[in-house]
Amino acid sequence: MGTAHGDFADSISLTDLYADPYPIYRTLREIAPVAWVPVAGRYLVTRHQDITALEKQPEIFSAAEDGSLMTRVMGHTLLRKDGDAHRRERAAAEPPLRPRIVEAHWRPKFEANANELIDSFVDRGEADLFDEFCGPLAARNLAMVLGLDGVSDIDMQRWSQAMMDGGGNYADDPEVWERARRAGDEIDAAVADTVARVSRTPDESVISAMIHAPDPLDIEQIRANVKVFIGGGLNEPRDSMSVAIWAVLTNPATRDAVVSDPSLWRSVFEEAIRWVAPIGMYPRQVAQRVELGGVTLEPGSKLGICVGSANRDESVFERPDEFDIFRPSRPHVAFGGGPHFCLGTWVARAQVAQVALPTLFHRIADLAVSPHGEVRLGGWVFRGLLTLPVVWTPS
């Protein structure tokens, strides 16, 4: 005979999680904050307090998951490593992503890219900003930061989607695996071109940093980590950008506030990634017997760390389902935590909060959600807008 907790967890479907995971998460936080969910093949961890606690214990809650979908798609990346191995690869990639370098070197390039994209549609009076601004801008910026010269916005977005779909392919769809394989081969070829170039002539890019680090990475490590940077480093700024734009357009008080005080764009960005965490779930594996959320977990147990749920935990955030840039400051976990805190945090903040949002709303003052289109969202492992149709008065 099943339990109420078990019956609910057994009833969860991937389709429901994709459409809107938040009601499911709310119930899990209430009745089973660490729950075995068969369709995910792992325990879903949904409470803020449990997630922040486990991230401080990487020796127990390991990133090195056996049978990782990410490893299958991308190779053995730094995100699936712990300890010295993780620190070594992170240290090699980190220098171009530090705040001082981002501000001095990358931000002016982000501004040029944003203005060029706006120039391409500003006279038209309508656009789908997901397809024409958020996606291409995140792709163009990321290709530049990685050092992938000559790679198109379209290819970067296609590769990113293939990596994300593969990393979240809990339905074991063979077509998803094949798309990820083809994209991986194309990424490897582009990386080879960049490695050859920056080996001769170092530059400010991440690939160059990994090649010329005091303890350089080998080609397989570079390939794997470029794939994970493409998989997560494109969708996070793209999705936080589109969610933030949509939230501002549908919250008049917020819009008035940021127009009056542009310093509030940083708050818009942080609230957007709390409200809809772009990377909504990531895996961990239990390394030693432990109790979490009232559940005893044995070594080898697989976990799904649901940051999308933690960021809407009512014990931490008042009215968590509302977008509110004036809410009392609380620590969201959209960038993860502990040793695996997101390496691209400062790049994301710069390109979204400092560049994309203020530039777009400054150049198109009467931007509005189109009355003729549909804004759609989807996802749970990765979540964000799928469309953002807008209109304005052409100049």
What's the chain's length in residues? 395
Distance CA 279, CA 383 (A): 7
Residue written as token pair 């209109």 = 391
Helices 252-260, 235-249: inter-axial angle, 10-degree rounding = 100
**Which residue, among 97, 192, 187, has the nearest Cα to 145 in the 3D structure?**
97
Given a contact cutoff of 8 angstroms between Cβ atoms, the answer to whether 231 and 163 are in contact is yes
Assigned token pair, 173: 């769809």
Task: Tell me the CATH number at 28.
Answer: 1.10.630.10
Task: Supply the pLDDT for residue 67.
Answer: 81
Q: What pLDDT, on a 0 to 100 scale, did the predictor assign at position 3?
A: 62
Residue of 290, 279, 295, 381 whose CA lies nearest to 340:
279
3-class SS string, 172-186: CCHHHHHHHHHHHHH
Q: Given this model, what pLDDT does residue 82 score?
A: 84
Radius of gyration for the chain, computed over Cα atoms and rounded to the nearest angstrom: 21
- CA-based angle 218:223:224, to the nearest 5? 100
- Note down the domain range covering 26: 4-391
Q: What is the DSSP string of 162-216?
A: HHHHHHT-TT--HHHHHHHHHHHHHHHHHHHHHHHHHHHS--SSHHHHHHSSSSP
Cβ distance 246 to 369 under 8 Å?
A: yes
pLDDT in tens, the chain (395 residues): 356 577 899 999 999 999 999 999 999 999 999 999 999 999 999 999 999 999 999 999 998 888 888 788 888 888 788 888 889 999 999 999 999 999 999 999 999 999 999 999 999 999 999 999 999 999 999 999 999 999 999 999 999 999 988 888 888 899 999 999 999 999 999 999 999 999 999 999 999 999 999 999 999 999 999 998 998 889 899 999 999 999 999 999 999 999 999 999 999 999 999 999 999 999 999 999 999 999 999 999 999 999 999 999 999 999 999 999 999 888 899 888 777 778 889 999 999 999 999 999 999 999 999 999 999 999 999 899 999 999 999 97
**129 token code pair:** 């900003």
Task: Report the domain count for the chain.
Answer: 1
Q: Is the separation of the CB atoms in 302 and 43 below 8 Å?
A: yes
Spatial neighbors of 3 by CB under 8 A, at least 6 apart, are none
